[in-house]
Homo-oligomer: A and B are copies of this chain.
Amino acid sequence: MVDAADTLRKHGLPVTAQRVAILSAVHHHPHATADEVAEQVRSKLGSISRQSVYNALNVLTEHGIIRRIQPADSPARYEDRVGDNHHHLVCRSCGRTEDVCCATGHTPCLNASEEHGFAIDEAEVIYWGLCPSCRGGGHASRPHRHSHS
């Protein structure tokens, strides 16, 4: 595990306290939302502006240092783990997110039967279901819109 500041330097990015704290927060809280990252950073630095959080997360994402995932009905989430083609498993009820390795080896399903002339560069897979806690009691902590009446 490399140092956050080093990672930034390695990518030619100016090292600021905010960036370091943000990158570190993402590392220690995989799949955190921008808000959650902001909370974490505030507990370290005392304060940070919302815009700085978004700026940093965007810059880090553009440089491939972190990855952004945007499941339906959830704000964007960020993760450290880049470079390997893994997917996500999301709880419909509480939004809990887990990593899952690619079931069929590498770059699965990347052969869409019809390409419609598109230049496809990624196949994004999201598994939807209910996490253990939400299966049990049925006491959903976040009502979702997918319920079949």
Q: A64-B148, A147-B62 are in contact. Are A132 and B117 (CB under 8 A)?
A: yes
- Which residues on the B side are within 8 Å of A123 (C-beta)? 125-128
Question: A24 on the interface (CB 8 Å rule)?
Answer: no
Chain B residue nearest to A108 (CB atoms) is B109
* A63 x B115 contact (CB < 8 A): no
With an 8 Å Cβ cutoff, the count of chain A residues facing the other chain is: 50
Kindly state the separation between the CA atoms of A73 and B58 in the bound complex, as whole angstroms.
Answer: 13
Interface bits A87-120 vs B (CB < 8 Å: 1, else 0): 1010110000010111110001111111111111
Kindly state the separation between the CA atoms of A125 and B87 in the bound complex, as whole angstroms.
Answer: 10
Question: A70 on the interface (CB 8 Å rule)?
Answer: yes
* A122 x B127 contact (CB < 8 A): yes
* B101 x A127 contact (CB < 8 A): no
Question: A6 on the interface (CB 8 Å rule)?
Answer: no
Minimum C-beta distance from A102 to chain B (A)? 8
